Chains A and B, each alone.
Chain A
């Protein structure tokens, strides 16, 4: 069956440390993988997109890796801050019959303690 999994447990880290979030999937062949941030009661906000032929992408303190052999993406936030506390969602984008589909993971809650 097709599945996309993120750490279901919340991740608690100390300010200044690197947070690493995992996204694993099975039986999908994504063209892209994206990461979003979601704060309570608000819509997701786009962070990074990585294509199937890319291994790594960076943006300021954020880094995402994409391993299509392992079917896994890692999302890193370096020098984390309390303001980084939120739920982080990964999403797979796939070409499908008739168009393009997006499948989201359930998200991982991150708490950064000062």
Chain B
């Protein structure tokens, strides 16, 4: 089944304790992206990757890191989590089209992170 998977689905952690949220897709998509979703603010893009070893900042990259060493995986790293990073996180992937731009995005099920 074509899908985007994220792990863990739920995580409660403490301020300053490094964590990684994994994202994997089995559709051979070039484009991958991370979003956070907060009430009233909608989805905000954290980082995206056009292909392996190519990443760029979205609108809210502060406090996050990413890497894209393989096409299928795009982990999100919080080196020193803070309470303002408590949020619902979504990973997404997309095929690229004729103009090499991404098209429709396929989202993972989400990771609910609480930082105390």
Chain A residues at the B interface, C-beta cutoff of 8 Å: 31-32, 34, 36, 41-46, 49, 89, 91, 93, 95-96, 98-107
Contact = CB atoms under 8 A, between A and B. Distances in A.
B101 interface: yes
Interface stretch (B12-20, B75-83, B106-114): B106-114
Given A100-B31, A102-B48, 18 more contacts: A31-B101, A32-B101, A41-B110, A43-B92, A44-B90, A44-B105, A44-B107, A89-B43, A91-B105, A93-B101, A98-B56, A100-B50, A102-B45, A104-B43, A104-B44, A104-B45, A106-B41, A106-B42
24 contacts: A34-B105, A41-B110, A43-B4, A43-B92, A44-B107, A45-B107, A46-B104, A46-B106, A89-B43, A91-B43, A91-B105, A93-B101, A96-B56, A99-B50, A99-B56, A100-B48, A100-B50, A100-B102, A102-B33, A102-B48, A104-B35, A104-B44, A105-B42, A107-B42
